[in-house]
Structure 1
């Protein structure tokens, strides 16, 4: 573990950390604002479950585009400006998608979600790169707490969404107000960011950092990076499938009302938040690999209960296990991809892109299966990917000489 770099004061480091907390929270708030209103969007568009899956596909396509470009954009303008550009523009897609739903236009809704997904995907890489740099400068493992703040944002967002559903607040009014609040908070927060390369001394003979786009793309040939991507893929599918489909699954599969289903999604996200806060101590004590293995088992158990147990109260309990199990895969994967700070942006971009395949393939796949076999049965493929993630967990073991888990150093 490193000590705080002499180039920054402790207040500067703390302000940077707090700004990243805010950014993760804003990202979660933006996503949950949309996801909590998916049942309303389906009702306004008057489409089937499979069609709403195609509409949600817009977020996934945009995310892949943003993730693919993120490493190159961050290399040119830095993580701080990348965060401001990506989330600042992307959040404008929310009211655009709401307009599409209001005027009964599937394609305008899709376009708004495409813009939102692209901004969110690029922001995901930029804030994780900055978070890994802050983690290195602070000298302690706090990446799960950054992601816990994302979960806090999602809990707040789903809570607001549930209230909006209950009081019949129009989707456009809801999304516009949230977008404006996010823009204001983001502009203030980014002012406290520091360079992700702070404390890294440049050397003339150091060729470890990729200098061009071809070298940045070479991380796709690294077995460890690809296996970390498998971990993130499985856990992202576990998290993303809940975000996209849990509310509808509770309505269609367990007979809950729209506002009740939104609260179940909030419970799932609360479980993820608890898992991420608790995860820091577990990672320090047991290390990345054992914690990820147990996480995958919890997620599989929770999913199995939700899918196969017909009782709604027991199914709700299963969502708690699902949330706890899915909580650490993405943040630990980001930390593992960032073990070498000079190649962090390229590797995080690659790993996150693999993970976002879950968001790309998940909505149409689960929507198709849900249309033909029931939405609960449509979640069965998630079990398979989570199991594969559990098998790939040894790849997350820290690199020699990097900041690592005490239990695995």
Structure 2
């Protein structure tokens, strides 16, 4: 994302055309997410993550090459689509592996993995900003990212635990073939967990995309302070994921999630109706409130290891829809009521999440 302004400048893109290019990544992900569960169920998390890498790494290089050679804006789309497709497959499989480790340790550690993801995005953005400042060509930057990612993923997946876990589950799958074949899309609990994750993704994604703009346009602060507001949100969200795992073990999923979605509502209200300083406090509370809904939803979907892969695929597909549809919907609402007041949609969605949080209660396989 740190090179998006460069892409826009090199290809002379309008905001609308840039949105089309970014949409191609989302389209690839939404195609990869639904099929990833069956791939992971059949071949295991290791092979599935590596398969996702084999799609994503060439995709980002192809997209960078098309931009660097200035062969045309539409030539970038296939590479970005491959990137999104690989990321979708990869995402479900690595969450599956996270649930395997979580069950083996019998403690809530999925938020830690998602905290690492959040930290990685911040670190990557900082490195990207530095490389932009040094004038490093886009193809060199993203080519190194692809190679480094390939090495890291191949090394990391060699230590995955889910291959042996999948083998131990084969006997159970043979004993209950009808259960294994039933579509996870037909399970009410799985769908409701997906809706809860969608609400969590909307709560997080809205802040990522619009908090800085809302501070600049709504609170009339400098752009640097708008970026600082986003940094506050991301910092407290990451801290919530690191520290929240202990709360989950001590109090359980349902009360913790109720408290955090309530905090997201309070934080949202402070951002919208408070003065500038209260709005910054609201960003912190909102960040904590947005921290655990997504990772806990992944854990809840995988309570039954035999059905984990398919259910994770469904929940991830529903949840990531918020990242695709949320930003334009907020923008459209912002055109009518102003972007600051449009953020109140987060409060409405969080109320819905509070009502269905009981579906996250640990289910017995």
The two structures have a TM-score, normalised by structure 1, of 0.77
CA 1:189–1:260: 2 relative to 1, 3 Å? farther
Q: What residue is the counterpart of 1:362 in the other structure?
A: 326
Within-5 A mapping of 1:3-402: 34=1, 36-39=2-5, 41-42=7-8, 52-99=18-65, 103=70, 105-167=72-134, 169-194=136-161, 195=163, 196-197=165-166, 199-200=168-169, 202-203=171-172, 206-207=175-176, 210-212=179-181, 215=182, 218-246=183-211, 249=214, 256-257=222-223, 264-309=229-274, 311=276, 314-370=278-334, 374-400=338-364
Runs of 5+ unmatched residues, structure 2: none
Whole-angstrom distance in 1 between the partners of 2:194 and 2:141: 35
Aligned CA RMSD, in angstroms, stands at 3.1
**Separation in 2 of the partners of 1:250 and 1:176?**
35
Contact 1:147 1:331 in 2 (8 A): yes
Query: How many angstroms apart in 1 are the aligned matches of 2:140 and 2:333?
Result: 33
Q: What is the aligned residue count? A: 361
Deviation at 1:349, TM superposition (A): 0.7
**Is the 8 Å Cα contact of residues 96 and 112 (structure 1) preserved in structure 2?**
yes
Once residues 119 and 55 of structure 2 are traced to their aligned partners in structure 1, the CA distance between those partners, rounded to angstroms, is 22
**2:7–2:67 Cα contact (<8 Å) kept:** yes
Cα contact 2:99–2:302 (8 A) shared by 1:
yes
Q: CA deviation at 1:331?
A: 0.8
Secondary structure at the counterpart of residue 342 of structure 1: coil
The SS at the match of 1:197 is: helix
Offset of residue 338 of structure 1 = 0.6
Which gives a bigger RCO, structure 1 or 2 (Cα 8 Å, sep 6+)?
1
Cα distance in 1, alignment partners of residues 63 and 217 from structure 2: 24
2-structure distance, mates of 1:387, 1:224: 18
CA offsets 1:102-157 (integer angstroms, 9 cap, x no match): 63955344443322221111111101111111222223221111222212212212
Moved more, 236-245 or 133-142: 236-245
TM-score (norm 2): 0.85
Contact 1:158 1:262 in 2 (8 A): no
1:43 and 1:242, CA in 2 relative to 1: closer, same or farther beyond 3 A? farther
CA contact (8 A) 1:62 1:115 kept: yes
Instruction: Tell me which moved more, 74-83 or 244-253.
Output: 244-253
Structure 1 distance, partners of 2:137, 2:213, is 19
